[in-house]
Amino acid sequence: MIEKRLAKWRHREIARTVFFFTVLAVMVLALASVPRVSAPLLLAYVISLMIRPGVPVLMRLGIPRTLAIITLLLGLIGVSAWPITKAVPLISDEARNLQYYIPKVESYITNRYVVFKTELKDKTGYDLNDAYLYEFLENSNKYITNSILALPKLLAALLEWVFLVPLFTFFILKDGIVFRDILLNICPNSLFERFYSLTHEFGKKIGGYIFAKFVEASIIFVIITAGLWFLDIRFSFLLGLVAGVTNIIPYVGPVFGAIPALIYALADYGAGGTFAAIAILYAVANAIDIAIVFPILVSRIVDLHPLVVVVSVILGSQSLGVLGMVISIPLAAALKLIILEIYQAIYARRNNSSF
């Protein structure tokens, strides 16, 4: 009788386990298939982690929970509204003006190529194939043009986020516990404690990493923009924004962010003091990031060996390109949590059975 009940319990646990992981898989695939929703939802989740500690503080002052959440959101929107409204027109103006400087950059690259090709042929007798240069210029021009044309669409998406992110943040703070309890209710008893622990740690890791990368990118943006503005360089805001956004990509991001500014400086100012000042500015900003910001903010959160980070970035770039490079580190951190949990469960069980 006992054996039958035990077998029935095991069958029920297996069914619940299959159902539970099926629900999780469907949720992940659904979110991955709708990036227009999943991207602002992820940002809303990070924001909810940032302002969640303020909710109980306001509730202790006698403010109801819903009103406390609305108050915090309105405060955050008020603080963010001014810089956003100032930045959007500035980005649009600089992007439109940038297209008039593209021919000048192309002319500079072509002239330098001709000089290099002539010197190489005189010294080695090797004649470079011009097809590579023109293919590079054509692809670069096409990429820049498409990026400029895509800016209105991107800005429209950001305006959509202005509505969606606060809405998602409100419901995550208000009903996130209810959603968590639903998942815990369908979680098998054998996995309940581990799942609760993993989701808690996973949320802290992912939210902390994204917030840290946002702060890191903001610091680089401020340093580069302020430095270029001080040097009286055109497009200082746009070039600073490019440096901040590309800095999100581990290791190679700072290089990608510096290339447009250095090429523009060479084409507009030549290889003189202005170019050297811009190169020093980017070198100092990235040195501050590598030596101070990254170790304090990012490394402590993900807690991964540098070799694991490098391998993760390479695998991510091969699988999903730039997006894979961005999400590779938090995914590696999550995988580490899962492996450690499985390891501890196996060896804890083995140690208990040995007594």
Name which of 153-167, 254-268, 324-338, 341-355 the model is least confident about: 341-355
pLDDT at 352 exceeding the cut of 60: no
Q: How far apart are CA 329 and CA 81, in angstroms?
A: 31
* Higher per-residue pLDDT: 70 or 113: 70
Residue 249 DSSP label: S
Q: How far apart are CA 220 and CA 293, in angstroms?
A: 10
Percent pLDDT > 90 in the chain is 1
pLDDT at 190 exceeding the cut of 70: no
Question: Which two tokens mark 123?
Answer: 């010294």
pLDDT at 251 exceeding the cut of 80: no
- The model's confidence at residue 20, banded by pLDDT at 50, 70 and 90, is confident
pLDDT digits (tens, 9 = 90+) for 41-66: 877 887 887 788 788 888 888 888 88
Contact 212, 259 (CB under 8 A): no
Contact 325, 332 (CB under 8 A): no
pLDDT at 307 exceeding the cut of 80: no
37-58 burial, b for 16+ CB within 10 Å, e for fewer? eeebbbbbbbbbbebbebbeeb
pLDDT digits (tens, 9 = 90+) for 283-304: 888 888 777 776 666 666 666 6
Question: Which two tokens mark 355?
Answer: 């007594």
- Name the CA dihedral angle for 162, 167, 173, 175, rounded to a multiple of 10 degrees: -160
pLDDT at 67 exceeding the cut of 70: yes
Question: Which two tokens mark 180?
Answer: 């968590």
Q: How far is CA 266 from CA 38, 160, 254, 273, in A?
A: 40, 38, 18, 11
pLDDT at 355: 45
Contact 209, 301 (CB under 8 A): yes
Q: Three-state DSSP class for 125?
A: coil
Question: 264 φ, ψ to 5°?
Answer: -65, -40
Average pLDDT over residues 30-36: 74
Identify the residue whose tokens are 């084409």.
267
pLDDT at 5: 67
pLDDT at 137 exceeding the cut of 70: no
Average pLDDT over residues 174-179: 80
pLDDT at 353 exceeding the cut of 60: no
pLDDT at 26 exceeding the cut of 80: yes
Name which of 53-62, 113-122, 161-170, 345-354 the model is least confident about: 345-354
Cα angle 58, 209, 48 (rounded to 5 degrees) comes to: 25
Average pLDDT over residues 110-137: 72
